[in-house]
Chains A and B, each alone.
Chain A
Amino acid sequence: MSAEIPSTIPALEVRRRVPAPPPVVFDTWTDPELVRHWLGGSAMNVPHASIDLRVGGKYEYKLLSPEGANSRILGTFLSVQKPDQLIYTWIVENDAGRSPETTVSIEFIDLGDSTEIVIVHEGFLDVGVRAAHEEGWVGCFDAFVPLLD
Chain B
Amino acid sequence: MAEPEAIRLAQQGDAAAFERLYQLHSRRVYSLCLRMVGNTAEAEDLTQEAFLQLFRKIATFRGESAFSTWLHRLAVNVVLMKLRKKSGKETSLEQVTEGDEEAGTPRRDFGAVDIELTGSIDRVNLQRAVEQLPPGYRSVFVLHDVQGYEHNEIAEIMGCSIGNSKSQLHKARMRLRDLLHEAVRAKAREERRAAGSASGGEV
**Are both chains from one complex?**
no
